[in-house]
Amino acid sequence: MAKVQSRNSLSFVILSIFVIFYLNNIVVDGKSSFGKVLDPVKMGLKKEKLSHFRVYWHDIVGGKNPTAVPVANAPGTKKSPTAFGMITMIDDPITEGPELSSKLIGRAQGLYASASLGELGLLMNMNFAFMVGKYNGSTISIMGRNSVFRS
C-alpha cells in the first residue's frame, strides 16, 4: 500500500512540475502577481474567436411548477435575514426572448447557495446547456457570486 501511495505522490509531483513549466512558457507578462496575460500562439491557438450570446434565464422559485427548489438548510437558515446556508437546485429554462413562452434554447442546471451573513449574496454554480442550433450539445459553465440587491 505504501509503495502505491508513494508512486501516486511521485506522479502528482511530476505532473505539478510539468504544469508549472508549461504555464511559465506561455506567460507573456509575468510582472503581475494577480493576473497574467497568456500568449495564444504559444498555447497553439491560431486565431481568436469571439461569440456573443444573448439569452434569457428564467428562475421560477414558486407556483405549480418551480424550476428552483431548496434542497438543504443550515440549522440557523430560517432565523437568518439572508437565508444563510440555504442550497437551491435549479433546472431553469433558457429562452431566446424575455418571455417564458419564447423559443426554448437550453437549460440552466446547477445550484445556488446563500453564502453571506451580511447581505443576500449567492454562490452560483451552473451549466448553461444549449439544445438547439449551432451550439446544440454545448455548455457554458458559470461559477460566481451574485449580490442579489446590488446593481
Give the start-to-end residue ranges of the domains of the chain. 55-147
Residue 146, all three cell numbers? 451574485
What was the pLDDT predicted at 32?
A: 45
HSE of 94, CA atoms in CB hemisphere, 13 A: 20
Q: What is the pLDDT of residues 111-124, one digit of tens each?
A: 999 999 999 999 99
Contact 60, 66 (CB under 8 A): yes
Q: How far apart are CA 124 and CA 86, in angstroms?
A: 12
For residue 57, the surrounding DSSP H or E stretch is strand 56-57
C-alpha distances in angstroms, 67 versus 6, 62, 87, 94, 147?
A: 47, 8, 14, 11, 21
What is the mean predicted confidence (pLDDT) over 30-35? 51
Q: What is the pLDDT of residues 57-96, one digit of tens each?
A: 999 999 999 999 999 999 999 999 999 999 999 999 999 9
What was the pLDDT predicted at 58?
A: 95
Kindly calculate the radius of gyration of the chain based on its CA atoms and give it in whole angstroms: 21
First CA to last CA across the chain, in angstroms?
55
What is the mean predicted confidence (pLDDT) over 40-44? 75
